[in-house]
Amino acid sequence: MAVCLWAELKKAHRRHDLPVVLGIGVLALCWANTMKLSDPASLAYGYSMVLYGLSIVNAVVMPLSMAVLGSRLWDVEVRGSACKLLYTLQSRGSLFGAKVALGFAEVLVAPLMELAGTLAFGRIYRFTEPLSPAALGWFFFCTLAVNALLFFFELMLSLFFENQVPALGCGVLFSMTGLFAMFMPPAFTRLLPWAYYAVTLSVGMVYDESTRISTFYPIPYPVWALAVVVALCGLVLMAGWRLVRRKEV
């Protein structure tokens, strides 16, 4: 497994993986920064506003970003006709495990950047809302879990179709529907795994049309939603592994 991970890192050389994953985080933070964070009326619930805003941004940005990461990771093997050689050198389990490990590391970057960005926004704009480490931690784990779910799903699509268009197409579709799903009935939203950036939110919002002011309030952590995402992650991973194990090359 270690040697396969080393090989994955070698393959990532000149594939510009790091700029891509950093770019995803920067894009999400820049978008979140367009909210009126410095508005004096916002400072009292600054952190809640950032977490809520980032969840909306993630619903748009992350599905396509995860599709790009997932398909790039497998596309390199398809383009290089490499599977028939790799499968004679190492076990399929080790090769798949290394892909999953590298992919997970790449997926981890954006939530970490968002975590750091949220803290940075608090310092820069001097939020008066007390920082809740639990809410931040919850946001981080939920974002990571949904990102990982989408990434593994896109990786599985790439494995199944070899052509990267279905994976990228799904990424575009999920990104477009992810945003709208946030404003649809909760029962419907819960059926869409890529909308779980919203379902796992621990912050609620009320918009007063007369004053045009949004207020944010904490809601109980939807643990069941995180459990659903983690379970789906496991299922998708198992399906991907089954594909790799059984696919004839």
Interacting residues with other proteins (CB under 8 A):
3-4, 6-7, 10-11, 13-15, 76, 79-82, 84-91, 248-249
As measured in angstroms, the least distance from the Cβ of 163 to other proteins is 17
Distance CA 190, CA 86 (A): 40
Name the residue nearer to other proteins (CB basis): 4 or 170: 4
Q: How far is the CB of 16 from other proteins (least distance, A)?
A: 9
Least distance to other proteins from the beta carbon of 243, Å?
15
C-alpha distances (whole Å) from 86 to each of 5, 12, 76, 240 are 13, 16, 12, 17
d(CA 231, CA 17) in angstroms, rounded, equals 27
Scanning the structure block, which residue is given the tokens 């990571």?
A: 144
Least Å from the CB of residue 13 to other proteins: 7
75 vs 114, beta carbon nearer other proteins:
75
DSSP for residue 44: G
Say how far apart CA 171 and CA 179 lie, in whole Å: 13
Residue 204 dihedral angles phi and psi, to the nearest 5°: -110, 160
- Show the CA angle centred on residue 102, arms to residues 135 and 118, nearest 5°: 25
Closest CA to 200 of 135, 148, 119: 135
| Closest approach of other proteins to the CB of residue 86, in Å | 7
Around Cβ 188, how many Cβ atoms within 10 Å?
10
Provide the 10 A C-beta neighbour count for residue 102.
Answer: 20
User: Considering beta carbons, is residue 82 or 112 the nearer one to other proteins?
Assistant: 82
Three-state DSSP state, 215? strand
Q: Which is nearer to other proteins, 14 or 212 (CB)?
A: 14
- C-beta neighbour count of 217 within 10 angstroms: 10
Kindly tell me which of 102 and 233 has the beta carbon lying closer to other proteins.
102
**Amino acid in position 226:** L
Rg of the chain (C-alpha set): 19
Q: Which is nearer to other proteins, 84 or 126 (CB)?
A: 84
Q: Closest separation between CB of residue 10 and other proteins, Å?
A: 5
- Nearer residue to other proteins within complex by CB, 13 or 212: 13
Smallest gap from residue 237 Cβ to other proteins (A): 22
